[in-house]
Amino acid sequence: MVRFLIPSVAVLLFLLEPEFAMLSPIELSGHIYYLVPRFLILYLIFISIYYSRQRAVMYGLFFGVLYDVFYIDIIGLYSVLYPLICFLAGSIVKVIHQHLVVTTSISLILVAILEFVLYQFFYLIGFTSIPLVDFLQSRLLPTMIANMLFLMILGWAFKYLINARVLQRAREVS
């Protein structure tokens, strides 16, 4: 049961992201803020930290390709960045403490890096022309706040679910 729960949560988050994206952009006192939901990659980072780096990279590749083909139409962007982020997360966690607060902040920093790399890429190919300051104000900051709220609400649930799977696997082995 728990075994299938982990990939199905990933699929659910993948499908929910665009639905939440429809609520964005929001307009507050004349300024326009973009909120980019990054639920799936946050979840994959948690898998990478608490479960298995290799597994997370595989999921990252799979969903990255889906993401590229379905939404972006530039194949090779998310399909590289997702596994790379998972790999980084799995490598970082080997040298630091695995407390929930620490992992939450690491996940958020990694997502910020992802956003920044994407901004640089789209700037390079000319899809966007907004200056860096605008990007930080109208995109990165609101996105980080929204995703932080998401992690604060559901981060413990991810950890609980993944730990249940780890325990189950340990039992199977013994």
Partner 1 sequence: MPHFFFNKKVILLLVGMIFLVALISFSLRDRTNATLPEQIIKDTVGVAQSIVARPANYIAGIFNNIDSLLNTYEENKRLKARLEEFAVVQTEALQLKSDIKKFEQIEKSESLKAFNPIQATVIARNPDQWEEKIILDKGSSHGVTKNMAVMTASGLIGKITLVTPFTSEVELLYTNNPNYRVSAMVLGEKEAYGLIEGFDEERNELILKRIDSSLMVKEGEQVVSSGLGGIFPKGIPIGEITEVSTDDYGLTKMAYVKPSADFSILEYVMIAKRTSTVIDGADGNATNEDLTNSPEDSEKEEE
Contact segment (CB under 8 A) with partner 1 among 54-62, 87-95, 99-107, 123-131 equals 123-131
C-alpha–C-alpha distance, residues 51 and 44, integer Å: 10
Q: In the stretch 47-66, what mask flags binding to partner 1 with x, by CB under 8 A?
A: ------------------xx
# of chain residues touching partner 1 (CB under 8 A): 41
C-alpha–C-alpha distance, residues 142 and 28, integer Å: 11
Q: Which of 127, 133, 171, 173 contacts partner 1 by CB under 8 A?
A: 127
Q: Which of 1, 4, 8, 27 contacts partner 1 by CB under 8 A?
A: 27
Q: Which of 26, 149, 152, 167 contacts partner 1 by CB under 8 A?
A: 26
Q: Does 37 bind partner 1 (CB under 8 A)?
A: yes
From the CB of residue 36, how many other CB atoms can be counted at a distance below 10 Å?
20
| Residue nearer to partner 1 on the CB measure, 38 or 165 | 38
Q: Does 29 bind partner 1 (CB under 8 A)?
A: no
C-alpha–C-alpha distance, residues 80 and 83, integer Å: 6
Q: In the stretch 85-114, what mask flags binding to partner 1 with x, by CB under 8 A?
A: ------------------------------
Contacts of 162 (CB under 8 A, 6+ apart): 6, 46, 47, 50, 51
